[in-house]
Structure 1
Amino acid sequence: MFLWAPMRMWGIPLKCTSCKRKMHHSGIYTKVREVIDVDSKYYLVGGDYPRCSKCMIPVCPWSSEILQQLDPSHRNKFPAVLTTQQALDWKCVTMLRPRMVGNRAQQVMQEVHSKEWARQTIVYLTDCEVHKKSCVLTQSEPVYQQPPTFCRLPLAQWFETVHTNEVLGHLDEMKGIITSTYGRILKLDSTKKITKKLAGGIENTAMWMSNIGNELGQVLNSVLTTGEGAGLDDLCQGVVRRYRDAGEPEPDAIYVDRDCCSESVRLDVFHFMRRFTNGLTTEHHPLFGTFCSKLSSCIFEWDKSDIENLTQAKRAELVKKHPGHNPSHSQVLASITCSELAKHCRRKTRGVEEIRSLIQRLLDSMWDLTDTTGLHLINHESMSRVWEVQQKHLPCIQDPPGVQLYINNGSKLEKGGKALDVLRCARGSSSLESFHKHQCRFIPGT
C-alpha cells in the first residue's frame, strides 16, 4: 500500500490551474489504483483530495496538474505512471525504454541502478537547498559534500557466469526434459546456414548442422558434422537407444533428403521434386511455376470428403456474403485458396505406377514448350537423366501404410456456419527448414 498525500505530508501549497487560487483539503480520494510492479502488485491511495477554494473543482491527487507544481525531489517520490484504467511502476517503465546498446539484463540493471542513484542525488541536493535557506537566519556558511559518484555494475561476463552457475543446478532436470521428447514420425535434415557463422579458432571445423525433429515441430537432437552424412550413424543410433531405454515403440517413419529407400526411411517429396529442377533450363522461366504445380498434382491427390466439406462451407459463406446469388460449382472452387486447402484438407500419394504414368505424360506434354524468346523450359538430356534416376524413388515417396500423417490440432474454424477441422501434416522434412532459419537468426553475427 502506498499513500500519496503531498499537501498533508509536506505542506506544499498547491494552486488551481484555472483561477490560480490556493487549493484546500476536501477529504479522501475514493479511487484506489492497482499498480503493476516488477515482481508483484501494490495499491496506490490518494490521501488528500485537493479542491479549489473558488471554483470548487476537485483535482486528482496524482494528476499532471499536481505533479507539475512539485519540485523534482518530491515529484520523484511518486512511484508510478498512471493511465485511465491501469498503472505501472517506474521500474517497469525503465525496462520498457529502448536501448541503443542492446536489451541484455546487464544493461537493464545498469539503467535501473542509475535511475535510483539520480533520484537519491536529487533528494540530497534538494535537502541541501532547504538547509541553506535556513542557515540565513543563523548567518552561518554551510559546507556540503559532493554527492557520491555513480558506481557502475560489474561486466556482463560476471552476470553470465552467475546465470550459468544457476542453470547448472538444473542440469539433470533439463537433460530429462530434453531426452523425454519422442515422436511417431521423425524428420532429418542438414543445413550450412549455422556453420557459416563460425568464427575464430573454430572456423571451418564443421560443415553441416543436422537436426532431428518430430511431427509436432519439436527437435530431438542437433549435431555439428564435418561433412554431409558423416557421423549421422551415431546420431541415429543414439535416438534409437533413447527410444529403447524409455520403452517407446520405434518410429513409424523418418523422412530424409538422401540415403533413403528402406522400410522406414523415406525420401521427402519436396526434395524429390527439387531434383527435377536440375533438368530445367532455368528456374526463372515463365513456365517454371506451372511445371512444379503440375508435378505436385502428379504425386498427390486430395481427400474427396475433405474437399466436399470445404466446398459446402465456402458455398454457404458466399451465399451469406452475397444474398440472393447462387454460386456455381466453378465459382466456389475458384474462391478456395491454397492456404485453406492446406489447412482443412488432407492429401495422400498416388500409387507408384499412377505417379510414373502421370509424370511421363507431363514430361511428354512439356518437352518442346518455350517462352516468347524461344527458350525451352526442359533440357532434354538433363531431364532424361534425372527422370531415369528418380523412378527408383517412386516407392520411397509413398505414404507409410496404416500411418496417420495428419494431426488435428483440436481447434475448429467456422466458415459459412460449418465447423472445419484445422489439420497439421507430418509428412516430409520441410518443417525443419523454418527451425534452421530460426537457429541462424538466433546466433548473432554475419
Structure 2
Amino acid sequence: MVIYSSSGEDDELMVEAASAVEQELSPSVHCIPHVVFQVVPLESWKSSLPREQQEWLSKALFVKDWTGRAVLSNELQLWYHPPGPHLIYSQRPSSPDAFFQRPFFLWAPYRIWQYSLKCPSCAHKLTSCGLYKTVRRVLDLDGWYYMGTEYLECRYCTKKVAAWSRSVREQLDFSHQLLFPAELAYRLSCDKKVLSQMKGRTLGNSANRLYSFLVKNHTEEWMSRCMLYLETCGKFQVAGVHLAPTAHPFRMQPVPTSGWLLSTYARETFSRMEELQASVTSIFGSILKTESTKKVIKKLAGVDAGTAQWMSSVGNELGQVLICVVTAGEGYGLQDMAKGLQKRYELARRTPPEVLYVDRDCCRADGDSGAAAALFASWPLLEIRLDIWHFIRRLAAGVTAESHPLYPDFMRRISASIFEWDTEDVSRLQRAKQAEQSRRGTVQSAKEMARHCRRRTRGAQ
C-alpha cells in the first residue's frame, strides 16, 4: 500500500517516494509488496495538470485511510473519465471547469498487473516508489487527454525510471503492450488512433490533410463545450438584476503542426520495425523483374553521400518490391540478394517464379547458363527474358543515336507498334470523360491512359 500525505484541505495530488520496504512473500502468493513511503507533497502535478483536472482526478485516484491521509486507491484502472457538467443546474456554475474536463490515462503495470520488472541498467528488480512527477498531454482525434504513470526504483543501483519508458513496456506481454495508447514525444504525445490515419499513404493522404482534419475536429469539440457552458450561464440572467460577470471559457489548445505529426509518425514507425519487416518479406510473385539504377543513389546526402553507386531491386507483376540492395558497383553483392530471395520462397513453401525479366545478361552462350540464371541456380525452370524497354533501346541503338532530333518520335513509334491499350479499359475511360464533357472535355492525356488503362504486347505477328 502506498500512503500519501494530505497537503491542506484540498487533498492535492501528491506524492513522491523517498523510501520503500519490501516484504518477501512465498512463491505461491503473487501480490504487490507492502510498501510504505515517507512522503512529501508532489507539487509538480499542479504545474503539469490543468486546474479543471485536479479536483475530480484527486477524488478518482485517492481515498482516505483510517488516519485521514490521502492514499492511492487499490482499485486502479487504466482510463478515468470525468463526471462532466450536471444535466440540470439550480444556479449558475461558478467556473467552467466541469465543461472542459478531459479523460485521464494511468499507466501502472507494476501495481495493476503485478509484473516483476527488471532494471534496464543492472537487471535487478524494480519496485514502485509513487507516481511520476510529470503528467503528459496527449493529442487525440477530438481534443487532448492526460496521462500519468508510476515511478519505479531499483534498490540495487538506486536508478529510477518511469513506467511508460520503452525499456519497461517491452518487458510486458504483447497484449498488455497494446493497451498503451500513445506514442511519447519530447514535450507533447500523440495517440495511436491519430497516427493510424497516416498509415494508408494514398493520394491526398498527407500530414497536411491530417492537420486540417484535427483542427476541424478540435474546433468543433471546443465550440460545442463553449456553447453548452455559455447557454447554461445565460439561463440565469435576469433582467434588471446585476450579477457578477461570467468566467471566460478556456482557450482551445492549438493543434501541433503537420511537421510534428510527420516526425511523430516516423518515430512510431520505428517501434513497428519487426511488423514492417514481416510485411515486406511476405511479398511474392510468379513474374519477377530485376532492375539497377543510379537515380536513387544520387539522392543520398550527408555522410552517406558517395558511399554507394547502384541500387538493385526485384519486383513482381503487381509492381511490388520484393527486395532491394544498395551496392558499391553494378552487379556487386547480387549473389547474397539472390540467395536471400530464394531462401524466402523456400521457407514460405511458395512455388518458384516462372519468368524473370532482366536488363542485361539474358542471352545464353553454348554451354553457358547465363549470368542471370546463375544467380538463381535453385530455380532451374526459371525462364530469363530481356525486359521490353531495354529491348527497345537496343533496337534503337542499331538505327540512330539519342542525340538525333527524331529519336523521341522514333521511340514512340516503336513503342506503339509493340504495345496496345486494352480496348475495354479505353472505352470505359472515354465514357467517363464524356460524362464530364461540359467541364473538362473529352481529351485524355497520356498520364490518364497510363493510370486507368492496362497495356499489353500485340503478339509475335
Q: TM-score range by the shorter chain?
A: 0.3 to 0.5
Structure 1 or 2: more helix by fraction: 1
TM-score, normalising length from structure 2?
Answer: 0.36
Report 1 or 2 for greater relative contact order, CA contacts < 8 Å, sequence distance ≥ 6.
1
The higher radius of gyration belongs to: 1
